[in-house]
Structure 1
Amino acid sequence: MARPVLVVAEQLDAAADMVVDELNQRDVPVVRFDAATFPQQLTLTAGHRPTEPGWNGVLDDGCRSARLEDVRAVYWRRPGRSAIADTVPEPYATWAQNQADAALLNLLAALPGVRWLNNPHHDRIAAHKPQQLTAATRCGLKVPRSLITNDPDAARTFAKQVDAPLICKPVLGGRLPVGEGRALMVATHHVDPEEFDDSIRSTAHYFQEAIDKAYEVRLVAVDDQVFGGTLHATSAQARTDWRTDYQHIEYGTAPVPDHIAHGVRRFLAYYGIVFGSFDFAVTPDDEWVFFENNPAGTWAWVENRTGLPIAAAHAEYLQGGNE
Structure 2
Amino acid sequence: MDDRRSVLVLTNPYDVTADMVLRILADRRVPVVRLDPGADLYAGVSLTATYRTGEQRGTLRTASRELDTTGIQSVWVRRPSPYEGPPRLSDQDRRFAGEQTLWGAGGILASLPDAHYVNHPWNNRAAEFKPSQLSTARLCGFLVPNTVITNDPEEAREFVASRHGGVVYKPLWNTPYRVEGQPHSVWVREVHGSEITDAVSVCPHMFQAKVDKAFDVRVTAVGDRLVGVRIDSPDLDWRRRQDLMTCTPVDVPEPVARAVTDYLAGLRLTYGAFDFAVTTAGDRYFLECNPNRQWAWQPAQTIAAIARAIADQLEKGPDT
Instruction: Provide the TM-score with structure 2 as the length reference.
Output: 0.92
SS at match of 1:300: coil
Name the structure 1 match of 2:224: 224
CA contact (8 A) 1:277 1:295 kept: yes
SS at match of 2:70: helix
Is 1:262 matched up with 2:258? yes
Would the alpha carbon gap of residues 191 and 82 (structure 1) be closer, same or farther in structure 2, given more than 3 Å must change? closer
SS at match of 1:158: helix
* Among candidates 273, 283, 289, match of residue 285 of structure 2: 289
Name the structure 2 match of 1:130: 131
CA contact (8 A) 1:251 1:306 kept: no
CA contact (8 A) 1:147 1:158 kept: yes
Greater shift in the superposed pair: 77-86 or 128-137 = 77-86
* Among candidates 250, 271, 275, match of residue 279 of structure 1: 275
Please tell me the residue identity of whatever aligns with 2:8: L
Stretches of structure 1 lacking an aligned partner (at least 5 in a row): none
Name the structure 1 match of 2:104: 103
Q: Deviations over 1:148-182 (max 9, x none)?
A: 223332222212332211111101123313465x4
Q: Deviations over 1:55-95 (max 9, x none)?
A: 2x321221233221221100011201345334433433212
Would the alpha carbon gap of residues 245 and 81 (structure 1) be closer, same or farther in structure 2, given more than 3 Å must change? closer
Would the alpha carbon gap of residues 82 and 192 (structure 1) be closer, same or farther in structure 2, given more than 3 Å must change? closer
Cα offset, 1:45, TM superposition: 2.4
Is 1:311 matched up with 2:312? no
Name the structure 2 match of 1:10: 12
Is 1:244 matched up with 2:247? no
Separation (CA, whole Å) in 2 of partners of 1:139 and 1:322: 25
Is 1:49 matched up with 2:52? yes
Is 1:161 matched up with 2:162? yes
How many residues in Structure 1 have an aligned counterpart in Structure 2? 316
Please tell me the residue identity of whatever aligns with 1:38: L
Which runs of structure 2 are paired with 1:187-226 in the superposition (5 Å)? 187-226=187-226
Separation (CA, whole Å) in 2 of partners of 1:93 and 1:148: 36
Which runs of structure 2 are paired with 1:38-117 in the superposition (5 Å)? 38-52=41-55, 54-55=56-57, 57-82=58-83, 84-117=85-118
Greater shift in the superposed pair: 131-140 or 108-117 = 108-117
SS at match of 1:243: coil
CA contact (8 A) 1:40 1:83 kept: no
Instruction: Provide the TM-score with structure 1 as the length reference.
Output: 0.91
CA contact (8 A) 2:6 2:72 kept: yes
Separation (CA, whole Å) in 2 of partners of 1:321 and 1:61: 23
Greater shift in the superposed pair: 116-125 or 62-71 = 62-71
Would the alpha carbon gap of residues 285 and 48 (structure 1) be closer, same or farther in structure 2, given more than 3 Å must change? same
Is 1:175 matched up with 2:171? no
Please tell me the residue identity of whatever aligns with 2:89: V
Please tell me the residue identity of whatever aligns with 2:229: G
Would the alpha carbon gap of residues 58 and 283 (structure 1) be closer, same or farther in structure 2, given more than 3 Å must change? same
Would the alpha carbon gap of residues 45 and 280 (structure 1) be closer, same or farther in structure 2, given more than 3 Å must change? same
Please tell me the residue identity of whatever aligns with 2:35: F
Separation (CA, whole Å) in 2 of partners of 1:179 and 1:13: 29
* Among candidates 24, 35, 40, match of residue 37 of structure 1: 40
Would the alpha carbon gap of residues 175 and 93 (structure 1) be closer, same or farther in structure 2, given more than 3 Å must change? closer
CA contact (8 A) 2:160 2:192 kept: no
Separation (CA, whole Å) in 1 of partners of 2:45 and 2:104: 13
Separation (CA, whole Å) in 2 of partners of 1:175 and 1:131: 22
SS at match of 2:77: strand
Stretches of structure 2 lacking an aligned partner (at least 5 in a row): none
Separation (CA, whole Å) in 1 of partners of 2:86 and 2:160: 52
Is 1:28 matched up with 2:30? yes
Cα offset, 1:202, TM superposition: 3.9
CA contact (8 A) 1:149 1:155 kept: yes
CA contact (8 A) 1:303 1:309 kept: no
Cα offset, 1:321, TM superposition: 6.8
Separation (CA, whole Å) in 2 of partners of 1:215 and 1:65: 50
Name the structure 1 match of 2:146: 145
